[in-house]
């Protein structure tokens, strides 16, 4: 997007003002569009201390309308579970052979799922998968014997989220072409899961600030008062 288009968009939002979620999504619709269908992201700053292990917020959430992106999924499984994963739509399924392929540099996938009995094999790939956020994790529902359900959820647009070093969660909620209603549904579903994941040791306000933006647009700040009252 050209600088002129970005500038034109910035004039449609007051940088210091905090808008309701509905108004923020309406403003987002008025911004100049890029030549591709931009992803809409939310940044949520939480009142947590990420240095404390019991205050790290992490989870996964299937969004009602997905995120408008094709997700490539690999599954580490044996025997019958391999068949279940393939039938559910997994892009690659295997055991030691799949681990060997990944160890050799193949990384053409966006998510990895494993049955619990395969974690000994998957664990050896920690240095490859870990830094890319691809390591299967029981808390995220990606270490499970119910591989068919896990594959379908990830394919449908299951979003993983976690606080970064500054206590901020960044997550996609769909494409600009989704329109206000679908983006609002996705955002509300994600927020509900994040609110329920509040660590017991967190005192005071849990949600400090929130902002929406698309790939090539300015961000729109959201009034979080309503969400603080929801606790």
The whole-number pLDDT of residue 230 equals 46
- Please state the rounded mean pLDDT for residues 199-215: 92
Residue among 23, 28, 25, 26 nearest 215 (CA): 28
> Is residue 158 classed exposed, middle or buried when 0-12, 13-18 and 19+ CB atoms within 10 A define those classes?
buried
Predicted pLDDT of residue 8: 87
pLDDT in tens, 121-132: 999 999 999 999
pLDDT digits (tens, 9 = 90+) for 153-201: 999 888 889 999 999 999 999 999 999 999 999 999 999 999 999 999 8
Q: Please, which residues have CB within 8 angstroms of residue 209's CB and are 6 or more apart in sequence?
A: 44, 45, 221, 222, 224
Query: What pLDDT is stored for residue 3 in this prediction?
Result: 81
Q: Is the pTM of this model over 0.85?
A: no
Instruction: Delineate the domains of the chain, giving CATH numbers in brackets.
Output: 15-57+163-229 (3.30.190.20), 73-156 (3.40.50.790)
- C-alpha span between 138 and 92 (Å, rounded): 20
Question: How far are the Cα atoms of 55, 80, 96, 144 from residue 87, in angstroms, in the given order?
Answer: 38, 11, 20, 16
């Amino acid at each position: 997007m050209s600088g002129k288009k970005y500038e034109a968009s910035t004039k449609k939002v007051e940088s210091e003002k905090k808008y309701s979620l509905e108004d923020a999504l309406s403003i987002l619709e008025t911004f100049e569009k890029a030549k591709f269908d931009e992803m809409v992201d939310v940044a949520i700053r939480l009142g947590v201390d990420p240095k404390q292990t019991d205050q790290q917020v992490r989870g996964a959430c299937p969004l009602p309308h997905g995120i408008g992106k094709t997700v490539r999924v690999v599954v580490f499984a044996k025997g019958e579970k391999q068949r279940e994963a393939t039938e559910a739509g997994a892009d690659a399924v295997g055991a030691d052979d799949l681990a060997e392929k990944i160890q050799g540099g193949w990384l053409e996938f966006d998510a990895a799922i494993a049955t619990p009995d395969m974690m000994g094999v998957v664990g050896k790939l920690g240095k490859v998968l870990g830094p890319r956020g691809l390591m299967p994790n029981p808390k995220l529902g990606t270490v499970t014997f119910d591989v068919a359900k896990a594959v379908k959820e990830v394919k449908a647009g299951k979003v993983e989220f976690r606080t970064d070093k500054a206590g901020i969660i960044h997550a996609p909620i769909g494409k600009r072409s989704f329109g206000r209603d679908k983006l609002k549904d996705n955002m509300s579903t994600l927020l509900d899961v994040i609110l329920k994941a509040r660590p017991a040791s967190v005192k005071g306000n849990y949600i400090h600030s929130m902002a929406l933006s698309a790939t090539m647009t300015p961000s729109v700040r959201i009034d979080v008062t309503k969400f603080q009252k929801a606790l």
